Structure 1
C-alpha cells in the first residue's frame, strides 16, 4: 500500500507519478514491440518455408542417367522409402509466354498429372478452371496450368490460348530457330508467393519433353518427405538408390544464404529489441532515485518508529517492481492481441491510408504473417521482469541504508 501511494503521489507531494507513467509506458511498448516483431519474423520464416518446400520439395536428385524407364523405376523405389510422401520426375526449363498482346518470362515444369494432383500446394489452390483433362491425349495433351498473377499479367483465363516460345528449337539452313507452340490454359493457381504465382507454368511431362527436345529424359526427381527436418538424414538413403553418378541435394542447400540471412537477422533483431527493453527499464532507476530523495523524511520517520532496513527495502523494491511487472503484463497482452488480429489490423490501416502496407512483390507473401511462439514469449516476459527487478535494486538498497539522523538534519 505504501509503495502504491508513493508511486501515485504528485511531484508537489514528493512523488514521481509522471516518471512512473513514463517508465510503465516504455516497458509496455518495448515488450509489445518485441513480441510483435519476433512473432512476425517467426511467421515470415514459417510461411516462406512451408510454401517454398510445398512448391519445390525437400530432396532433389539430378545429374546421372535420368532417362526413362529407369527414372520411373527410381522414383518408385524412392517413393517406397519410409517417410517419403512423393517422388516426382520433372522437366524444368525457361521460356517466353505470349498472351493477349503481353509477354513474360516463365519457368515451365513438366510433371505427370498424378504428381501434379498430389502436389497439394498447387492442386489445392486452384483459383479458376480445373485440372480435369490435364495430362490426357497424345503426349499428355495441350492443357497447361499457370499462376494467377501470370494469368493477370498476360490477360488470359481458363480456355484461352497461350503461346510458349523456347530458345531450344531445331536447326535449319538459317541456323537455330526458337520452338513455338500454342497451348490452352486449363486452370490458374495461387500459392500466396508472388514469385511462384507470377513465374511458373505446369504442363504434362511428355509434352514438356517434346517441346524442349528432351524425349525420354528428365531434369530432376523432386522428393517430398513427411518431416522436412529429416531431409538431410534421408538424403544418404536416396543417394544409395540413385547411384554414384547422381547428385542428391536437400532444401537446406538450395538458397542456403537466404535462410542463413533470415536466421541472422532474427537473432540481431531480438538482441536489439531486448536492449530496448533494458533501456526502458532504466527509467525505473531514475524514478526511484528521485523518490528516495524526496521521501528521505518519510524513510527516517519509519526507521525511528522501528521499521528495519528490510522493510524499507521491500517498500521501494515493490514500488519499482510493480511498474516493471504491470508494464510487462500490459505489453504482453497488447503484443499477443496485435499478433492474433494482425490481418484485420493490416486491412484497417490499408483502408485508412489507401496504400498497401505489405507488398507481395517485395516480401513474397500476400499478407503479414505472425506466429506466436509461447516459449519465446515466456523468455521475453522473463527478461523484462528480470531487468525491471534488477533496475529496482540499487535505489531500493540506497533507501534501506539511509541514515535517519542524516535524513532529518535539514528537515
Structure 2
C-alpha cells in the first residue's frame, strides 16, 4: 500500500523507542495534558449547560414568556387570548395582573411580585401547579384573598397554610404625598418550591382579587400571558402580536425581567471556556518542546534523509505528522472520556454522596440539589477541533527548524 514518505517516517518516529527517555516522557506528558484539557472542557461546559437548562426550565417556567398588556384594563381577555393564539408561535394564553408590593408579618417585611392568576388557566402557561408543596392552587377562590407564596418566603416568615399576612401596595392619589399605601389581609393557601430565587420574590392571588385591589371591575385584567414554542423568539413574537392588535396594547417578555441573569450565565460559560482552553494551549506548547528535542536528537537521521534525496518539505512534513499524531491521539482520548464523564457526572456525584454520607449540593443552601449535565455535541466538536488545530499549529515551528538542518553541519561530528 502506497504511503507518502513523510507519513511513513513520522508514524514510525511516534511509535519508536528513543535513546533519550526524557523525550518520550515529555511526549507522553503532552498527550496526557491535551487529553485532560479536552476532558475538563467537555465536562465543565456540559455541567454549565445543565445548570442553564435547569434555571431556564424553572425560572422561565414560572415567569411569562411574553405578555400582551392593555394600555387600559382589559374587559374581555378571552377575545385577546383567542386572537393571539392564532399565531403559530403561541402555545397557550392565560389572564394576568401584576402588582409590586411588600409583605408584612409580625413586624417583618419583604418586597414581593404579586401575580393575579386564574387557577383554572394557569396550568397551561406555568409549571407552578407541579411544584406546590403545601396546599393547592385550586384554593385560590375569588373574594377570599388567598395567596400562594414561595418556599423561601414561607421559611423566612415561618408561615404555613392558614396563616395570615398583610400585603402593602402603593396607590397613586391626588393627596399632597402623591402615593398612599393600600393594605390587604391575605391568607396563605399554598406554598410552591421551584428551586430558584423566585421562591423568595413571587406570590400569586386570584385574578379577581387582584382586580378588586386595583379598584377595577371583577372581570378586568391587566393583560394576557403567553407560553411560546421558542423562548428566544419572545421579543419578536410579542412585538408582532401587539402591533397586529393595535395601539391599545403593548408587549412585554422575559428578557426585560430575567435577561440579565441569562446573559451573565452565557458570559460566564464563555469566560470559563476560554480559561480552560489555556490547558489545551499549555499541552500544545509541550508538543513544541517535544518536537524541538526530537529534532535535536534526530539531527543525523535528518541529514542522512537529506543526503539520499529527501526534500525540505518532506522533512517538515515528517515532524508535522509526528506532532499531529500526538495531538490526534490526545484529543481523541480526552474526547471519549470527556463524553463518558459528562453523560455520567450526575450519577458519579450521587455515588460519591452515598459513599461519603455528605451532600455536596444540599437543598438548604443551593437552589439545585444535584449536579445537572447536558452534553451538547456542538461543544464537543468545537473543543476537539480547537485541540486538533492547536496541536497542528504547534508542529509548524519545530518542523520548519528540522527542514533547515544542513547535512554537512549535522554529520560533521558523526
Gaps of 5+ in 2: 1-10
Mapping of 1:1-400 within 5 angstroms? 2-6=12-16, 8-9=17-18, 11=20, 16-67=23-74, 69-97=75-103, 104-131=110-137, 133-136=138-141, 138-139=142-143, 141-157=144-160, 159-168=161-170, 178-185=182-189, 187-193=190-196, 195-211=197-213, 213-216=215-218, 217-240=220-243, 242-301=245-304, 312-313=315-316, 315-347=318-350, 365-400=368-403
TM (normalized to structure 1)? 0.80
Q: Sort the Cα spacing of 1:109 and 1:59 in 2 relative to 1 into closer, same or farther, 3 A.
A: same
C-alpha contact 2:64 2:227 (8 A) present in aligned 1: yes
Shift of 1:402: 3.0
Gaps of 5+ in 1: none
Single out whichever of 96-105 and 216-225 deviates more from structure 2: 96-105
Aligned length: 397
Shift of 1:290: 0.8
For 2:337 and 2:152, locate their aligned partners in 1 and report how far apart those are by CA, in whole Å. 36
Single out whichever of 378-387 and 35-44 deviates more from structure 2: 35-44
For 2:252 and 2:92, locate their aligned partners in 1 and report how far apart those are by CA, in whole Å. 16
Q: Secondary structure at the match of 1:82?
A: coil
For 1:101 and 1:94, locate their aligned partners in 2 and report how far apart those are by CA, in whole Å. 19
TM (normalized to structure 2)? 0.80
For 2:284 and 2:112, locate their aligned partners in 1 and report how far apart those are by CA, in whole Å. 53
Shift of 1:220: 3.6
Q: Which residue of 1 aligns with 2:6?
A: none
C-alpha contact 1:162 1:184 (8 A) present in aligned 2: yes
Q: Deviations over 1:118-140 (max 9, x none)?
A: 23421122334433x4344x53x
Q: Secondary structure at the match of 1:66?
A: strand
